[in-house]
Amino acid sequence: MSAIPNISRRSFLVGSAAVGGGLALGLRLPPFGPALVRAADGSPEINAWVVIRPDDTVVIRMARSEMGQGTITGLAQLVAEELECNWSKIVYEYPTPGDSVKRKRVWGDFSTGGSRGIRMSHEYVRKGGAAARMMLVQAAANQWGVPASECVTANSVITHRPSKRRVSYGKVAEAAARLEPPKDVKLKDPKQWKVIGKSMKRLDTRDKVNGKQVYGFDLKLPGMLNAAIRECPVFGGKVKSFDAARVANLRGVKKVLQVGDSAVAVVADHWWNAKTALDQLPVVWDEGPNAKVSSASIAEMLKEGLDAEQAFVGHSEGDAKAALAGAARKIEAVYSYPFQNHACMEPMNATARYTPEKCEVWVPTQDGEGSFAAVLSASGLPADKCEVYKINLGGGFGRRGAFQDYVTQAVRIAKEMPGTPVKLLWSREEDMVQGRYHPVMQCKLVGGFDGGNNLTGLHMRLSGQSILAAVRPAIVEQQKGRDPLVFQGVFESGEHAIGYSFPNTLVDHAMRNTHVPPGFWRGVNINQNAIFIECFMDELAEAAGEDPVEFRRKFMGKYPRNLGALNAVAAGIGWTRPAPAGRFRGIAQMKAFNSFVAAACEISVKDGSKVKIHRIVAATDCGYAVNPAQIERQVSGSFVYGLSALFMQECTVKDGAIEQKNFDTYQSMRIAQMPKVEAIILQSGGEPWGGIGEPTICVAAPAVLNAIYKATGKRLRSAPLKNHGFELV
């Protein structure tokens, strides 16, 4: 059932003209592939999404990457719904980025982040399934000499109603693959769905319980060597010198080399030998000017931004500054959020084999095309001499998409050893200190009330790091220096819009970038923005002398779906009834990635600092729920990620480098700390569909912080809570 990386290149016997000469990015996505293409095993490709083997096995192609979020199962459901195929005969396969380039990006976007997998491709993959079904039916109808309209399909079988003749998809696939793709493809009405909306079993479970799933770390190629790497721990630093002779004769060592300007690597027969030698390799670094930077100096820089004149506006309604100047009473608070590492269970890795004729890379990647671009760049070879084979990821969370540093390193190493496959594995320590970190942010919030205790204005000033400035500077340039992403969850409109209308609102951002490289990190900016706005809403509610839910509702008239999620969790937790003795409640809501989410929790606090979360009720309105059981698992999993971050995780900077090097100093939640998560799925339907992987991550933290205030009277305004002496028990 699993997509094992292909060792030999998949070949297409008949294909469209090769694009060649670079990534054909930006090409409009054609919904269907060219006629008569064969998969590697010779089976006919009905279209780019569907291959049917003679034994009725249905191979569904997946451009997106599986990193645990269940996207391949959900995408298969979308295709299968329209294809009307036998679910038990489905397998999946990753097309390669090289083939995608050759076929004018027939599979569309490979990038798997931003909770996009299903919400952004549901239409074209469903059309892929629907078109394939139409072609299969037509092929059968042609064979029988009957009109296609007299045929029906179910479970991979076509039946001619009047004559009761039946034929399975596998028998007519060859003929179907020769037909012209239909031009007019209609999708089912959601009311007719039989597979979408059902908790179909994941396609990738079995190999994950018996050790058979091959992750990048587990890849074996004939003649393969293993590499361990160490990059300058001070970001921006370089290698000055290293004494290769000191380790060259250690057990198993084949090569000691510099990688780019900033890293050294040891290649050995086995990775343990490579790592052992690397640990003993004397390296002198040119650490550069960043060696003086510390967490304290970064915090100072951000603090200055809280009151700086210049700031980019993300949301402006009315005149917040005037409203605050004229307010009878003002409430002010400063919050902050730290650097955090993704800490995927599987550290970064990539395997590369280079010859002047071909550069191939096997990699767990959230973006096959991004990996492909890195291979082109690092190898110096043209697109038709490069290939990437995607492997399922041992966690991604944003680290393995926009950043392909490990791919670049692997290719650079392999280039020094032409013909020999080299598997580059990062140690956990390397993974911790060479992250692309959740950006640091501080936030000053000021709310104004009139004499009648009515909120008259809100100013939310963000000060901190921009991911896009580091990763997609072209977008920032287009926006005249602004990074729109920092306003996730507090925008005026769009997929991350705020769910409140205040009389006068200003949200602005003083961009303060650091030398610590920032990255996308499950949810990213909604994590801190949800804490800032949703905890401050509780502060405002208290100042107004109102119940936090009632206070929120006053501003949510224009946002019925936000309100629907909030009401669902309020009802679920029993908000209007008293909490059980010794327990305290908190609540928060957000819209992100076009899903409307809310959480309400019930906690108790022992000895003033030991927090037990008993329950979290979580609501998600994602429009359509493709696989409800998988959504529940992602929601409860997102709370583990988000609450680990809230309570335990901070990457601090000392002498320019990250201090936390392993899970002993960068802890993560264990099962004993796991709250009971009760997921509520709301399906409002319609367009656009909402995402699942990320949205709920952001609501657990503010709900818990609000409950901690109720329990202890302490407003904890900076994460992680371990810095306040609080722990999750």
Partner 1 sequence: MIRLNINGKVHNLDVDPNTPLLWAIREQAGLTGTKYGCGVAQCGACTVHVDGTPLRACAIPASSVAGRKITTIEGLAKGGKLHKVQQAWIAHEVPQCGYCQSGMIMAAAALLQANPKPTDADIDAAITNICRCGTFQQVRKAIHAAAKA
Binding site for partner 1 (CB under 8 A): 67-70, 201-202, 204-215, 217-218, 220, 226, 251, 270-273, 276, 343-347, 392-397, 425, 427-429, 629-630, 633-634, 636-641, 662-664, 668-672, 674, 676-677
* Shortest CB 600 distance to partner 1, Å: 17
Instruction: Name the residue nearer to partner 1 (CB basis): 273 or 463.
Output: 273
What is the DSSP pairing of strand 151-154 with strand 90-93? Answer: unpaired
Strand order in the sheet with 58-61: 37-38, 44-47, 50-52, 58-61, 90-93
Nearer to partner 1, 15 or 252 (CB): 252
Closest CA to 311 of 555, 90, 486: 486
Instruction: Closer to partner 1 by CB, 101 or 728: give it.
Output: 728
Total residues belonging to the chain: 729
**In terms of CB distance, is 393 or 497 closer to partner 1?**
393
- How far apart (Å, rounded) are the C-alpha atoms in residues 103 and 96? 11
Q: What is the DSSP string of 330-399?
A: EEEEEEEE--B----SS--EEEEEEETTEEEEEEE-S-HHHHHHHHHHHH---GGGEEEEEE--S--TTT
The CB-of-104 to partner 1 minimum distance in angstroms stands at 32
Would you call the peptide bond into 720 cis, given omega within 30 degrees of 0 as the criterion? Answer: yes
Taking the least distance from each CB to partner 1, the nearer of 68 and 457 is 68
Secondary structure letter of residue 528 according to DSSP: H
Question: At its nearest, how many Å lie between partner 1 and the CB of residue 618?
Answer: 12
- The span from the CA of 716 to the CA of 234, in Å, is 31
Nearest-approach distance from CB 728 to partner 1, in angstroms: 13
Cα torsion 93, 97, 98, 99 to 10°: value is 50
The distance of Cα 679 from the centroid of its chain, to the nearest Å, equals 20
Q: By C-alpha distance, which of 575, 454, 558, 587 is closest to 499?
A: 558
DSSP letter, residue 493: S
Complex with partner 1: residue 318 or 628, whichever CB lies closer = 628
Phi, psi (rounded to 5 degrees) for 206? -55, -50
**CB of 67 vs partner 1, minimal distance in Å:** 5
Least separation in angstroms between residue 461's CB and partner 1 is: 33
CB of 693 to partner 1, least distance (A): 10
Q: Which is nearer to partner 1, 200 or 506 (CB)?
A: 200
> Looking at beta carbons only, is 156 or 660 nearer to partner 1?
660
Contacts of 707-712 spanning 24+ positions with Cβ under 8 A? 707/584, 707/585, 707/586, 707/601, 707/602, 707/603, 708/584, 708/586, 708/603, 708/605, 708/611, 709/538, 709/586, 710/584, 710/585, 710/586, 711/584, 711/603, 711/604, 711/605, 712/605, 712/608
> Measured from the CB atom, is 194 or 670 closer to partner 1?
670
d(C-alpha 317, C-alpha 458), whole Å: 10
Indicate the residue among 120 and 391 with the shorter CB distance to partner 1: 391
Q: In angstroms, rounded to a whole number, what is the distance separating the alpha carbons of residues 501 and 727? A: 35
Between 135 and 424, name the residue whose CB sits nearer to partner 1. 424
- Nearest approach in angstroms of CB 71 to partner 1 is 11
Least Cβ distance, residue 39 to partner 1 (angstroms): 26
Interatomic CA distance for residues 107 and 263, integer angstroms: 35
Rounded least distance, CB 81 to partner 1, Å? 20
Shortest spacing between CB 427 and partner 1, in angstroms = 7
